[in-house]
Every structure is written in structure tokens, then in C-alpha cells.
Chains A and B, each alone.
Chain A
Amino acid sequence: MFLSVEEIVKHYDGVRALNRISLQVRKGTVKGLMGPNGAGKSTLFHLISGMESPDSGRIWFQEREITGLRIHEISRLGVGRTFQTLQIFGNMTVVENVLTGMHMRIKGGLLSSGLSLPWIRKGEEAAMKEAKEILERLGLFGRWKWFASQLSYGEQRRLEIARGLAAKPDLLLLDEPASGLTYPEAKQLAQTLSRLKEAGLTLFLIEHHMGMVMEIADEVAVLNNGELLAEGPPDVVKKDPEVIEAYMGKK
């Protein structure tokens, strides 16, 4: 199983955020994670990406256990993520943001970089080319020299995805990628994500934008109050009474 979460429990200061959650993501699919605010979706992402450790339970990625590994170790295994609160690097240019995404794939350490050895420079040139290609794919090429802080919000969101792609991950975790986007921007994003899926990337996304999720997701899981309510194809989950109750409230 590509990504597997087993009996995960997480408490924060006595509040139970996740209660024995188990779910799976199949390779090459798009899985949506939905639920009202406070359901524990971001917490789950924090646990998968390594920002926190679960109180109990295990997480497996590509047949390797990743529970308790540190964030950058998990990233290096091929898991990328974007953040709900947009964590781009505003102090660098657009292309540099993407280049940073390629950090693990560029060779070199502190000493060799400082001495600017010839293979460092070659690596930089190759990386620059690739970075520009990624920007092209996401429609940000024209702004490559701009500072990241100068982009519009929607463009910054795309930049964060570009940066995530630069690491050539096998799994990309997207935390509310469409939040704050206008309707046309969200549609564009959905198209981009579809294209990524076709290229072989596995996507796991948290999203409130019902329409978008229903359109591109192969499978959806719904959380509420730290419990898994339903898991399955979007059409089936949509009709699940517990899910409807969670979102709409009791009649």
C-alpha cells in the first residue's frame, strides 16, 4: 500500500484530535480529505509529514514505516506538502523558491559550495533550467525574476505547488490549496492537479471546495471530531447520512 495510516491517535493538551484513524491512499490516485473545521484534517497531515508524532499508531509510506521520522527525512523519502497558511519564501525570487524545492536533488555541501567547485556550478545551471521548466508548467514563467512576495495570492499558491513539485515527490500532500482562490483560479488549479495526476503523481488533498474535490478525487475520506466517518468514491460518500449530518447538522 502506497500510503497507509494505522490506528492513529493524537491528543493536544487533553483534547483528542484524532481517534484511531486508519486510512489508505493508493498509488497514482487522488484522495480527498474532507470534514468540517476542527475535524483533525490538518493534524493528520502534520503527522504524516512529520511535523508531529502520533501518540499511538503507525504510518507507512511505500512499505517503509515513517512514524516518528523528522520532517526533512520524510521529505527526502518522497513526500512533499503545501501548507494551509502558505509558507513560501518571500525573501527570495520566484525561481529561487523553486530551486530551493530542488535542494535535496542538487549536489553539494557547505564547504564545496563555498569554494564554488566546478561541479557545483554545473549543478546550478542544470537546476536553473529545470526550475524554469517547472514554472512554465504552472504558468509562472513570466514572473521568474520577481520576488515571491510580489506575486498575487493565487500565484503564490501555485508557486508553493511548483516548489513542492521541484522535489520530484512520489506523494504530494496539499493542505487547502484552493483556499482564498477565486472561482476561475480554483478551476485552473483543478486542471493543474489533474494533469499532475496523469503524469503519475499521487495526490492527497484537504479541501473544502466541494466541487473541486468531487471532480478530481478518485476517493474521499471524511473526518469529523477526530473520527473517520466515511471513505470511498466521492459519489458514495456524498450520500452517506453521517457525512451529510456532519456538514449540515441534524434535521
Chain B
Amino acid sequence: MDIWATLPQLLSTGITFGAIYALVGLGFVTIARASQIINFAQGEFVMLGGMITFFLLNKIHLPYPLAALFAILIVVLIGFLMHLLVIYPLRKASLPILLMATLGASLFLSSTSALLFGTLPKALPPFSARAPFEIGNISVSPQSLWVLVAAFLTLFSLYLLSHRTLLGKAMEASSTDPLGADLTGISRNLMIFLAFGVSAGIGSVAGIFITPIFYVSYHSGILIGLKGFIAAALGGWGKHNGAILGGFALGVLESLSVAFIPSGYKDAIAFIVLLLILYIRPKGILGSPFIDSRRW
């Protein structure tokens, strides 16, 4: 079997995955920019996006676009609830406590999903034509293109939000200088509240766009969440374009690795990348506004 022949195909798969990781990573970055919290439940938002859309589509028989829309709204609501019930009560807590709390929330969301929606993996129909088309000797499914579109649209909107709108700037201010933000009348808790909603929304969008290609099940959340985080850290922790770059880099790396090592180890690649980044260059490829490498 000629490895080099399969490479282009793997590359294209990698880019698709990469776009998903990028989206998930953007979710992490949004919350971290507002609050310095790393939300371990981010992956669950992705999972829930796909799950709830499936439920609305097949059990309530809503039309596809409407189901997707409502699913996004519901997940955003869940994000808000998570802030109100878990993050806000722990706003003064120390780091290990917050970490554990987001892990607990992740556990709750994934197990409740198993409870409500069953443990079988679910799939969604693709957005447009089913048949993949050929570019050269690579077959690309139209859904993959949708995923790319989604990733870049989200990046663009987030960029507008944080750099052009007052709200976005307020969110960043509350993260980098909480006291200053308080003094200028920005409610830090409100900013974090909104950040959770936005992240949940991004996550659910990622979930909806990816489920037509790959199945979603109650336990997909954790792994995809971690990989999204690794993507964000790889590209440059805290930067939007870092998450995008890291996402694609990770997706391609992971995909290409299948050509060289047994597929069971594919998941380990992401973690090895994580350990490498943390050890060699914690700021990530593009550098990070949050990590002080002076005393690292």
C-alpha cells in the first residue's frame, strides 16, 4: 500500500477535523479570555449540540434548520445555567476547586445525556448533497466544506466581537485586569456569564456541523473537548487565530499519523502533542498574551 497516495486524502480529513478542533478551541479561548478559567465541560457543549439536534429532528420532527437553531439556543441556555449554578457560586474559589467543578459539570452533562438520549451513537443528515465530489484524486464531502465555512465564520464573528465591539473589549478587560474592570463599571461576573453563553453557542455549532460526518455519542464530549483545548494551546493560548492555527495543525498531524502508526494510538497523538507543547513552548506557536514565559 502506497503511503504517499493516501496522504492527500488524509490531509483533507485532517483539515476537516482541524476545523472542528479549531471551533472547540475557540470556545475554550472565549471563556479563558473573560475569566482565566479553563472549562473542562466545553466538549460537552459540542456533544449536546449534535445530540439535541438529533432529538429535535427525529423525535419532535422539527425541520432540520429549526432543529439546529433550537438546539443552539438550548445549549446556550445550558451554558448560562452552568455559569449560574456552578461557576458563579465558586467565583472566589481556588484553582483546584474550579477545575474539579468544571470536571463535575462535564460528568453530569455527559451522563445525563446518556440517560435522556440513550447510549447509542447518533448521526445527523448532511446539510446539502450527499455525494462527495472529487478534487484531483481526493474525495471531499460537501459537509467538510460546510465545516470549514463554519470555522471561519465563527472566527470572524469572534474577532469582530472582541476587537470591535464594546462588549467584547469589556470581556477582555475583565480578564486581564479584574480590578480595573470593576472600577470602570464592568461587571466581571456578567462578562463571564456572557462568555459561557458564547462558548456554549460555538460548541454547539461545532457539534451540529460535525455530526453529519462523524457520529456523536454521550462520551464524545470529553475527548473532543481535550483535543480542542490542546489545539488552542498549540496555536498560542488565548489567541483566536491561535486556536484556528492550532486546530488545523492538530487535525492534520493526527490524521497524517494514521499513515505511520496503528490507528488505535491516534488519540494518544493529541496528548503527546500536549506534553510536547507544555514542555517545549507553553506559549504555543503564535505566543500567548497570558503566559509569562519569563519565570516559566
Contact = CB atoms under 8 A, between A and B. Distances in A.
B190 to A, nearest CB: 31
Interface in B277-296: 294-295
Contacts of A12: 294
Interface in B246-296: 294-295
Nearest to A51: B295
Interface string A32-64: 000000000000000000011000000000000
Contacts of A52: 294
B296 to A, nearest CB: 12
SS class, residues of chain A in contact with chain B: loop
Contacts of A51: 295
A52 B294 CA distance: 9
A234 to B, nearest CB: 34
SS class, residues of chain B in contact with chain A: helix
A51 B295 CA distance: 8
A68 to B, nearest CB: 16
Question: Is the interface on chain A under 10, 10 to 19, 20 to 34, or 35 or more residues?
Answer: under 10
Interface in A164-196: none
A52 B292 CA distance: 14
A51 B294 CA distance: 10
Nearest to A13: B294
B288 to A, nearest CB: 14
Contacts of B294: 12, 52
Contacts of B295: 51
A12 B294 CA distance: 9
A43 to B, nearest CB: 12
A12 B295 CA distance: 12
B276 to A, nearest CB: 24
B278 to A, nearest CB: 21
Interface string A51-81: 1100000000000000000000000000000
A20 to B, nearest CB: 22
B287 to A, nearest CB: 12
A12 to B, nearest CB: 8
A238 to B, nearest CB: 35
Nearest to B295: A51
Interface string A2-27: 00000000001000000000000000
Interface in A97-132: none
A52 B293 CA distance: 12
Nearest to A52: B294
A179 to B, nearest CB: 21
B26 to A, nearest CB: 27
A159 to B, nearest CB: 24
A124 B249 CA distance: 55
A163 to B, nearest CB: 21
A42 to B, nearest CB: 14
A207 to B, nearest CB: 25
A52 B295 CA distance: 8
A70 to B, nearest CB: 13
A169 to B, nearest CB: 23
Interface string A209-240: 00000000000000000000000000000000
A132 B295 CA distance: 34
A232 B294 CA distance: 33
A45 B151 CA distance: 48
B116 to A, nearest CB: 44
B16 to A, nearest CB: 39
A12 B293 CA distance: 12
A167 B139 CA distance: 70
A11 to B, nearest CB: 11
B292 to A, nearest CB: 11
A52 B296 CA distance: 11
A85 to B, nearest CB: 14
3 contacts: A12-B294, A51-B295, A52-B294
Interface of B: 294-295
The 3 A-B pairs at the shortest CB distance, nearest first, are namely: A52-B294, A12-B294, A51-B295
